[in-house]
Structure 1
Amino acid sequence: MYALIVSTGAVAFVFVYLLVLPVVAYFRDVKGLRRYPVFKHGAGITNLVFVREAVKGFRSKTLLEEHRKKGPVVRTGPNSLSYASLDAIKDIYGHGTTCLKGEFYETLAGSHFHLADVVDKSEHARKRKLLSAAYALKNLENWEFKVADKVTRFIRAADRACTDPLPKGHTIPDPGDLTFNYRAWGNFFTVDAIADIGLSERLGLLDQGHDLVEAERMDGTVFQANFRACLHATARAQSIIVWTEQWFTFNERLTKLISPTLRKLWKLNEGWNGIVLRRARNRFRRYQAGEKLSDFFQCLMEDRDGNPLGLEWGEIVAEVSIMMNAGSDTTAIAINNVMYWLLKNPRCMAKLREEVDSVLAEDEVVAPYEKVKHLPYLKAVLDESLRITPPTTFGLPRRTPPEGAYVLGDFIPGNTTVSISAYVAHRDPKIFPDPESFVPERWLGEKGKDLQPYFISFSAGARGCIGRNISYLEQTVLLASVVHRFEFALPYPEWEQDKVEAMNLTPGPLPLKVWRRKRAEK
């Protein structure tokens, strides 16, 4: 009898907590959010509606469709608003905004915050100051030789994969000639680059042709883990349940029990933690041994005058984690995407090659950054790819301050989540005409400068991506080098690449036929 009473009470509690109270809160509408159209039926009552969309694998595309039907502001959850108007960028992300990072970042943070998820503004300023010198534009020459080394290794791999030229007039290669997965090799390139730039470690993915690396458990035992699989599994699992912030820990445990797929993803997350710990411990041992290395890690340990900063170990590991994550993944996606769009638009590829060929000698293998960094069409191609397929597609959440804030002229009560998806914003036809077409020319000249305030692939304001300059360096040198040396072909002209949205819009394999350009063989 007692057990029956307890179980009945538990069911009643769950019913009231999960259904009755949210419905009551929805109709009470203390914040006045019911004036905005909902993303999907029920979104004003529960975040589970957005969770369901996250499971499908491309929530930002659905969000775009809903904005087109319902207007510039859509309610995606009981306490969340999504904006499509580019005029909201300055209100939410601009330098003068009063909006803060909030629950989303607190939920995903470990024992210590890192530069990307720290909420407190003064703490963010302290962290950014530690690394700003290393990431500064004037210091790019310190890292170019490391990037050039990785480009050389990438080209060596592409050379090995080369097949005979595609016969003139043919557009469909033999399936056996699709020997080069550009997506995988581009990712090997960015992982090797950030490991060297950030930690002075040569992981050697480009040499070994796979992403198996050493990882380490807390007890010091070493094991092997696949870098990409572990990183992407972590992001995918988190991106599904993070929208129900208060229930994140419970949902993690629940999904491990009831979903074999998510159980596998969470298991791979343990591998990611081991990969990060191995990197941090290896580099810290070198620091303790007295090695003075020119990398980002050194900036975490000492100031410019060589004075120890005394960071806690948990903070050091957190910064290594975001360095290896954001420092490799988004740039790898960008590298993949720009090649995909160029191959889908041969006119753009031909125009880019003409520009690159005009500044590089026929026998130059790696494009010197000084020669290609100011090429207008090359920069336009990169920016157009980042516009149409921004690596980070979802709206980076911000929280209005306790006293509230104005967004698009409307007062939004305090502690409300507001965001703009780059995928949505970059498809505003008033700013970007013909938004679904790849048109690099839109970024040229004065009209291109006018578009920059609406370009949020790297976010905006004080919390904008600190690695922007490094990313452009890697993308610019690699793309110029490979289009100068190689020809590529998709499996067939209408071929479409698979994509799954986690924290980033992650592409699937990009199998290409590759062969040497005749011009480079002279």
Structure 2
Amino acid sequence: MYLLLAGSALLSSYLGALALYRLFFHPLRQYPGPVLAALSEGYELYYNIIVGGGLVNEIEKLHKIYGPVIRVGPNTLHFNYPQAYHDIYTYGSTLVKDPGFYHSTAAHVRQSAFAFCDPQHAKIRRGLMSPLFSRRAVLELEYTIQQKPCLESITALPTRVWRCPLHTASLTTDIITSYCFAECPNTLDIPDFSHPIIQYVEETFQDYWLQRHFPILTDIINNGPQKLVLWLLPKFKGYAGLKSGLERQIDKILENPDILSSVEHETVYRHLLEPKGQERPSRTALLHEAIVFTAAGSDTVGNASYVGTFYALKSDTIRRRLFEELSEAWPERDTPLSYAALEKLPYLTAFIKETLRFSVGVIHPLPRIVGTTTPEIGGLKLPSGTIVEMSALFMHMNPEVFPDPYVFNPDRWLAGETNEMMHDFVPFGKGSRVCVGLNLAWSELYLIFGNLFRKVDMKLIIDEDTIDDFSPEQRMDYFVVQWRKGYRVSVARTAV
């Protein structure tokens, strides 16, 4: 009994001393923010899990109250101006990823380049994969996107109703798996776009915050008896299903490497399994990279397609201008038009840029750690070890760079000088850790939107169950953006 009382007293004393230090003696004590955020990482947990993806929305409110630099954790500052973003990400060669965040958030893919905090390790792994995602490779493999079962199938459908985002997620899943693995699950052929892999990817992102704050759950999922684990933790069913399917694919290749030379085009596995002068990644590393490509490659481009299609259909002017520009450049509808030709179309290009600005990409702040040789961050000299971050949302919704930022307006990209906007345009990140698949993503968006608005006649179905706008109230932070409602579209082929 006495030992219990003594232990409780010691714990209380420790917590009290820690609270006093963080509030009154910590190097970041002069930066404003909620007291609870200065005291505990539980502040982030509350908005991620209890509020359900509400952290970025809360940070928006905090900046309005406290100003451009706020303390959002005991040792974490969040910024809200472009100079700070570029100091952290674009030019931040002396900063490293925060292991506390990435080793938990990426608990299911710890051996992927995405999860590597050491810049040199990430550079080596990315160097193996980047040839598949160069502009030259994307142009050579464009046919994997143009041909069935991807774009041709969506434009050959009979009159029907599409449910978004399920339709766009199915489309981009078929594309990324065809491109990276030379295998396609044909999710577009499944009624109501209900293929299990779509559910798996969606649930994997929804589990992100459980992994972030309780990474041991992922270790249990990976190492425990699957039936028992999924009975106890049903929320991880999506991740387990995605993992199992990719494991079967990888095991077939490891058992018979000749498969790599018999597929119709190069895959990411060939680049990883045939490194030049480097150690071959392990089976686990192959699995983790495959999970990242499947989830990130389908969700981010799928989300952009989802957002852009909505705004094009909501505005008769935008839809008409897209169709007219595409029809003039593409008179023979049933003859494919190349990515290289589509990217020369000014209004389509402006529309895609505005779509990427609005859909953001990764919305959650990506924390970096200040090093001993780090120069100023946003004009501030910060102590080594300070965690700094800034959500891309604050770049894309900055009214000083993008006037009326919550208005979807492709014409902003056609009105005079756009250098400043492009400098602060960060849908794929910036700097050395920029998204390795950005060339593929651009190609997908040109080909998806080009085919849709040239070949398909779409109309929004508006009712109380569909989204009215992509407003902050509809937005949830699940690392990438998720929206509270979807929408439906009636679909028919265009007459000409």
1:250–1:466 distance in 2 versus 1, CA, 3 Å: closer
CA separation of 1:491 and 1:122: change in aligned 2, threshold 3 A? same
What's 2:478 paired with? 502
Instruction: Say which is worse superposed, 191-200 or 458-467, in terms of deviation.
Output: 191-200
Aligned 8 A contact 1:63 1:424 in 2:
no
1:478 maps to: 448
1:507 partner letter = W
For 2:353, give the aligned amino acid.
D
Q: Distance in 2 between matches of 1:437 and 1:268?
A: 35
* Structure 2 letter corresponding to 1:131: M
Rounded to whole Å, the distance in 2 between the matches of 1:428 and 1:415 is 28
How far did residue 329 of structure 1 move? 1.2
Partner of residue 462 from structure 1, selected from 432, 437, 442: 432
- 1:434–1:24 Cα change, 3 Å: same
Task: Answer whether contact 2:339 2:447 (CA < 8 A) is retained.
Answer: yes
Deviations 1:213-252 (A, max 9, x none): 7xxxxxxxxxxxx22333232322322562x5xx643899
Contact in 2 for aligned 1:487/1:515 (Cα 8 Å): yes
20, 31, 36: which one aligns with 2:31: 36
The letter of the residue matching 1:152 is E
1:380-406 deviation digits (Å, cap 9, x = unpaired): 111112112213111111111145542
Question: Residue deviations 1:330-383, cap 9 Å, x none?
Answer: 111111111112223332222222211111125336443232122121121111
The corresponding residue for 1:229 is 199
| Aligned-partner SS, 1:516 | strand
Q: Tell me: CA distance 1:76–1:308, structure 2 relative to 1, closer, same or farther (3 Å).
A: closer
After superposition, the C-alpha distances for 1:98-151 in whole angstroms (9 at most, x for unaligned) are 111122112224575212121112111111211121111122122211101211
- Counterpart CA distance in 2 for 1:87 and 1:241 is 31
Once the two structures are superposed, the pairs formed by residues 206-285 of structure 1 within 5 Å of their partners are 206-209=188-191, 226-240=196-210, 242=212, 244=213, 248-249=215-216, 263-285=233-255
Residue 120 of structure 1 corresponds to which residue in structure 2?
118
- Percent identity for Structure 1 against Structure 2: 21
Give me the CA root mean square deviation.
Answer: 2.8
* Greater Cα offset, 433-442 or 60-69: 60-69
Deviations 1:292-334 (A, max 9, x none): 5412221111147xx8852222221121121112111111111
- The yes-or-no answer on 1:47 pairing with 2:41 is yes
1:180 corresponds in structure 2 to 162
Taking a change above 3 Å as real, the CA distance of residues 27 and 240 of structure 1, as seen in their structure-2 partners, is: same
Deviations, residues 497-516 of structure 1 (Å, cap 9, x unaligned): 65432111123563423243
Q: Residues 455-498 of structure 1, C-alpha deviation per residue, up to 9 Å, x if partnerless?
A: 11111001001111101111110111111122322232883465
Q: 1:402 to 1:110 in 2, by over 3 A?
A: farther
Matches within 5 A, 1:408-419: 408-419=378-389
Change (3 A) 1:311 1:350: same
Between 1:136-145 and 1:269-278, the stretch displaced more is 269-278
SS in 1 for 2:451: helix
Deviation at 1:286, TM superposition (A): 5.0
For residues 436-470 of structure 1, give each alpha carbon's deviation from its aligned partner in whole angstroms, at most 9, with x where no partner exists. Answer: 11111222265223311101111100100111110
Unmatched segments (≥5 aa) in structure 2 = 221-229
- The answer to whether the 8 A contact 2:108-2:218 is kept is no
Cα 1:14–1:456 shift into 2, 3 Å: farther
- Alignment pair present for 1:298 and 2:293: no
What does residue 397 of structure 1 align with? 367
Residue 512 of structure 1 corresponds to which residue in structure 2? 488
